[in-house]
Structure formats: C-alpha cells, structure tokens
Amino acid sequence: MTTLIDGKAVAKKVNQATQVEVAKLVEQGVQPGIVVIIVGADPASQIYVRNKNRKAERLGMHSIVRELPETTTQAELLSIIAEYNADSSIHGILVQSPLPEQINEPLVTLAIDPKKDVDGFHPTNVGKLVTNFPGKYPVANTPRGIMTMLAAYDIDPAGKTAVVIGRSTIVGKPMAALLTNANATVTLAHSRTRDLKAVARTADILVVATGIAHLITGEDIKPGATVIDVGMDRDDHGKLVGDVDFDSAQGIAGAITPVPGGVGPMTIATLMQTTVELAKWSDLGE
C-alpha cells in the first residue's frame, strides 16, 4: 500500500499553529507584517499573490500587496524594496517572480534585507543553510515545507539515500542542503545527469522538481521509496498533473504526495510560518 502524504492536512496544522503565534505576538504589541511586490500582470502570479494575501489576513497578519506596472524600472523597484527594508511594520518582503526583462532578478534578491528575506533566497541566508550555520534565519519555503511533511509522517532522512531532481535555487539546491543537514546521502540530479531514471531508482527519498509532466513513472521508483512531487504541470487535456506519474507510482512508492494537494499548500503555510518567525526574531530579539 502506498501512503498518501496529505499536504493540505499538514498545512492546516501549520496554519493553526501560526495563527496561535500571531495572536500571542499581537498581545505583545507585535503584528507580523508581510509585503508581496508584483511587477506586471502575469495571471498566474496574480493568483499566487492573491492567495498569499488572503491567507495572511485570515491568520491575523498585516499584509500588503504592492502592484507595480510592467514598465517599472530597476531603480524604481530597488527604491520600493529599500522603503520596506526601513519599515518596522514589515517583517517579510517577497518579490513575486517572474519579473519583466528590464529587471535584474539577482540584484533584486540582494537588495532585500536578509532579516526580511521571507523567501530565503538572499545569498547570506543560502550560505547559512548550505554551511548548516547555527542560529535563526529564513530558508526557502517549498523545501522547508517538504521537510515538515516528512516529519509529520515520521520519515527520517538520516542514513537514507535521497535524490533531488532539479537544481533550481528555489527548490532543488536548498532541498539538497536541507536533506544533507538532516544526514541523508544526497544526489542532486538534473537534465544533464546521465541515465537519470537509473539514478532515481536509487532513492529512498525522491524529490522531483523539474516542471516536466510525468517525467518519472512507477518503473523509475525504488519499491517503498518516499516520493515528493513538486511539479505543477498541465497535461494535453489541461488537467493539473505533477512531474511524477501518480497512477503508475501507486503500489510501488511507499509514500507519495499528490498533485494538487501535496507540496503546494505547504509552501504558502510555510511562508506564513516564516513571516511570524521573522517578526519574533526582529521585534522580540529571539
């Protein structure tokens, strides 16, 4: 039997805990604040931003959506980021991707105060993650949410072989670092990996984040492996599917995340969790 890893259920528990923490902070005179800056009118980005804003407001946070025109210049965007860096009511700053071609995304990432880097993408925070630096700092929300799901299902990476397919700075690289820090033996695979499917079959924990629908099928999965599908793709009929062929993985994987309802809800829940933590570390000096 394959266990279904229910991201919605785990996210609900995380959100409940976050709401309790928000209420405690508000009692102490601190309301966690997040701003999401969106440049242009990308429809998918607008949906993501709307969902984040609604969730933050439901949890009792101070939430701002700053919408900027497609023609916004690099200098204008950096100036707005500086404004929120200096705003004590804002604890988390997120600039929604993708950005228009005139914007240099690495410079935008660098411009965000590392202590307000709610996405965990600033090189300072990435460096701390990779070196397993002691202390409190934000970590990329999707990989962190995956680690929360693994813990919720008592899946301990220690001593296991983990394969992460996809080397993005958003998911793949921080995921590999978190699993390494949790004492797994990690392979970071990608489009240039030779015999990718053979590498996938070595994994006790397989994380797939490529954006290629059904790249991994049941025959590519080690029997009993835990499979985390980060993909959000559309098939030929427009149906939302993952990077893993869910149907063929059934009965082979020991545990698997569905698409939708797996990793997605955990990403937003973890974003909210991180915002509250940034408020605690900043305003309460924790």
Residues that constitute the known binding site for NADP(+): 166-168
Q: Is 29 exposed, middle or buried (0-12, 13-18, 19+ CB in 10 A)?
A: exposed
Give dist(CA 184, CA 155) in Å, integer: 11
The whole-angstrom separation of Cα 48 and Cα 223 is 35
Within a 13 Å sphere around the CA of 174, how many CA atoms are in the beta-carbon half?
23
- Rounded distance between C-alpha atoms, residue 242 and residue 232, angstroms: 5
Q: Which residues belong to the active site?
A: 52, 96, 119
**Burial classification of residue 2, based on how many CB atoms lie within 10 Å of its CB (0-12 exposed, 13-18 middle, 19 or more buried):** middle
Number of alpha carbons in the 13 Å side-chain half-sphere of residue 247: 3
DSSP result, 202-248 = T-SEEEE-SS-TT-B-GGGS-TT-EEEE---EE-TTS-EE-SB-HHH
The partner residues of 191 in beta bridges, in order of sequence, read: none
Query: Tokens standing for 58?
Result: 């439901």
Q: Is the dihedral of CA 124, 94, 232, 137 positive or negative?
A: positive
Least Cα distance to 151 among 176, 174, 179, 186 occurs for: 179
CA-to-CA distance for 55 and 14, rounded, in angstroms?
12
